[in-house]
Amino acid sequence: MISFKKIVLTTDLSDNANVAAPYAVELAKKWGGQISLVHVVEDVVYYANPAATEGIVPVEWMVANRKDREMQLKLRAEELAKKDGVTVKDVLLQGHAANAVVDYLKKEKADCVVIATHGRTGLSHLIMGSVAERIVRLSPCPVLSIRPPQK
């Protein structure tokens, strides 16, 4: 029997990512499921930073950035749970976004993943790539991909 009890909702903490939340909430309500709100902090080897004299971001900045993202993620999870009356846990991962999400899906035996796309096409898609597209190709479970409304 198909069920959607373990729902993973990915977020890059942008407003664009919020368009996928209502879909994850509806699945959770319909199936009595739980949402794992997942954000990935990308591995950083080198960041060009005009404020840093040698062009390398100090470790302190990276630690503060991670803590800030962790706090944003926790607030979004609490807000989603309170507003929509569903169980939401915040999950902060580190690594390459698509790979980290796919590994998490496998480890948790997720029933589905809900992800917002940026809707890039053409040259910007070629240059930027697509985390969502890679997750669709590699996911061990069904993927619900939500494209944001056109402006």
Percent of the chain surpassing pLDDT 90: 64
The yes-or-no verdict on residue 54 having pLDDT over 70 is no
pLDDT, tens digit (0-9, with 9 covering 90-100), for 65-95 = 889 999 999 999 999 999 999 999 999 999 9
Q: Phi and psi of 46, rounded to 5°?
A: -150, 130
pLDDT, tens digit (0-9, with 9 covering 90-100), for 35-50 = 999 999 987 655 555 5
The yes-or-no verdict on residue 33 having pLDDT over 80 is yes
Decide: 90 and 37 in contact? Cβ < 8 Å.
Answer: yes
In this prediction, residue 52 carries a pLDDT of: 54
In this prediction, residue 90 carries a pLDDT of: 97
Q: What is the mean pLDDT of residues 21-31?
A: 96
| β pairing state of 143-146 and 87-94 | unpaired
Q: What is the mean pLDDT of residues 45-59?
A: 58
| Number of other residues whose CB lies within 10 A of the CB of residue 51 | 8
Report residue 128's pLDDT band, with 50, 70 and 90 as the boundaries: very low
In this prediction, residue 147 carries a pLDDT of: 86
